Amino acid sequence: MLLWKSSFERHMREALGRNLRIVWTINRRIMISLRRKNGQPVLRLHESFAIARQQLRDDLVSFLLHGRKAPQSIKDFVWTIENAREPRKVRIVTRGAHHDLREVYHRLNTEYFGGKLAGHITWGRKAFGVKRSITFGTYAFDRKLIRIHPVLDTGITPVFYLESVVHHEMVHEYLDAVEGLGRTRGKVHTHRFRELERQFKFYEMAKAWEKRHLNKLLRYQPDGDSAI
């Protein structure tokens, strides 16, 4: 691991500056953070990034320099880290201030998946995902558990957008539980996945709404902590 870290750090400093300080962590809530401390840039990363391939390193550099929203390659890598953690007891919280995830899950299960899914869904922690971006939902294959970011339990989030996020995670569950295609050669967003994802009737509308309101969601801080 030390050799991997050394190679990674050298690559990051060549791209982001020789005075860059890199701090390796095991924090799974905020896996990427770039800030300045006393004028020096400090990059905090989950230690799993040390083994990232060249393309992912390049995507990470581009995101840190220019991005507001993490590219799909980084989201997939973060998703892998998130779902590799040790099992722990989960408290299921479905009823929020504005939306009930149990009702959303049941409605989508009936309309799009023939009622075949029997997993779990819960509001997640107040902040999980990548700094300067939001992972709106995750699916843990080992637990058949969908987590939804509580930033979507707000008055500004229309039902169709929340449904699009839940539907996305339910496609993961469907491919895993029904078709046995949860992960294909390490990939989760396969051609078959995209095909099923686009069957959601408000898919294009949801994408357009996210594009218009992403910055507002990034800044929004929900009250309380619907922690797992």
Which pair of structure tokens corresponds to residue 100?
A: 């009930």
Q: What is the pLDDT of residue 196?
A: 95
Q: Can you give the CATH number for the domain in which 212 is found?
A: 3.30.2010.10
Contact (Cβ atoms closer than 8 angstroms) between residue 55 and residue 73: yes
Greatest mean pLDDT among 22-31, 43-52, 88-97, 102-111: 102-111
Where do we find the tokens 């994802």?
Answer: 197
Residue 224 clears pLDDT 60, i.e. is over it: no
Please say which residue of 12, 42, 64 terminates a domain: 64
Mean pLDDT value across residues 164-179: 92
Q: What's the structural domain count of the chain? A: 2
Q: What is the pLDDT of residue 129?
A: 43
Mean pLDDT value across residues 39-44: 87
Contact (Cβ atoms closer than 8 angstroms) between residue 144 and residue 173: yes
For the chain, how long is the longest CA-to-CA vector?
57
Expressed as residue numbers, the domain containing 7 is: 2-64
Looking at the fold, whether 142 and 215 belong to one and the same domain comes out as yes
Looking at the fold, whether 48 and 144 belong to one and the same domain comes out as no
